[in-house]
Amino acid sequence: MFVIHFHAVAVESEGQRLILDREDDPRPLRRLRRVVDEVGALKAILMDELIVRSNESGYPVAVEAVIFPSTADDTLQQYVCLTLVVELPPGYPDVAPVVLLRNPRGLDDSVLGRIDREVKEKCESYCGQAVIYELIELVKEYLTSSNLPSCQCAICLYGFREGDHFTKTQCYHYFHSHCLAGHVTSSEKSYQEELDKLPAWQRSQHAQSPCQVLCPVCREPIQCDMNLLSSAAPPLDVENARQFELSDELRSLQRQMASLFSHQKRRGGIIDPEAEDSKLLLVTDTVEQEGQDDPPGPSLLLPPPTSQQAVHQHNSIGTSRGDWRRGGCGGFRGRGSSSSHRNRHRRRHHQAAATSR
């Protein structure tokens, strides 16, 4: 029966004490001690530039660092950068780490592809050894040799050439100075147009806050020197770009489209927005009625009444109003008044007929 004695030693890691063995330690614990030693050495070299992520037990599981090119600490000359993330699997360093390249600035896909291939080759060649510092130095060398934006200007979609005036924003995005000046002018104009649409009491409140220009790529607020930007020359590719000319092929296509448009218009296939809007327009004329109790006038389409019809109509109207006051025709005095009304109406009718003869 064999008895193995472990002599423990405490190792500081991220504010926690990891109890490791010192003699006769098993293989997993030896790997743990090597990882803790490597991370501690990196923190002593890079200090605040290195971010270490640990699990619940305090064991380092990933390290992260933002890599810049070597420019003798002149940040104004640093035009590219990226974030290097190295994830440490349980078997590291005997197992290759997982390397991620995140948030690249000023680098196109071809440069990132070369860096990724070099990083994988470095991890394979350093299998079983500490490789994190080697990866950081490898990426830094690539950024130093490519310390010129290799991406495109997101405004004009042209690249950067030697002699172009370009600007690096606080979020590490790059634009031609001439293009960025146009973006700032357009943003201020749009802000003023929206401000003019507000009521007077709201306009006075927003007038005190200046226009905040946003990055065209990530929409982060940026600070720009408009005097410096407006004095920059246009990009060389924009000045040397070939002027657009209408070719024979485009002219033929225009004729085909014009013929097709005319055919669709004749068949009712073209929708006119103004005509459609007029269909939904409802026009109403409001005419005030002067007297709702007055009888309507005679129709213009009917012939004028004869003298007998006019007398009969006049007597009928007058009798109906009088009967309403005296109780006739459904009034409140009973049926006796109704019979006397009929006799009186009959006598008036005979008199009117005799007069007409």
pLDDT, averaged per 10 consecutive residues of the chain (357 residues), comes to: 36 45 58 86 86 88 91 82 92 90 87 91 90 92 83 88 85 90 92 86 76 90 88 87 85 94 87 70 56 51 52 48 47 51 66 61
Q: Who's near 269: CB < 8 A, 6+ residues apart?
A: none
Give the closest residue to 24 by CA, choosing from 8, 6, 11: 6
The CATH 3.10.110.10 domain(s) of the chain lie at 7-145
Residue 101 bridge partners (DSSP) = 84
249-294 pLDDT tens trace: 999 999 999 999 999 988 888 887 777 666 665 666 655 544 455 5
- Residues 7-145: name the CATH superfamily: Ubiquitin Conjugating Enzyme (3.10.110.10)
Task: Count Cβ neighbours within 10 Å for each residue of 163-182 and write b for 16 or more, e otherwise.
Answer: ebbbbbbeebbbbbbbbbbb
For the domain bounded by 166-239, which CATH number is listed? 3.30.40.10
pLDDT score of 236: 86
Give the closest residue to 178 by CA, choosing from 151, 147, 155: 155
Q: In whole angstroms, what is the distance from residue 281 CA to residue 174 CA?
A: 51
pLDDT score of 159: 86
pLDDT score of 106: 82
Length of the chain: 357
The CATH 3.30.40.10 domain(s) of the chain lie at 166-239
pLDDT score of 6: 32
Contact 59/38 with Cβ under 8 angstroms?
no
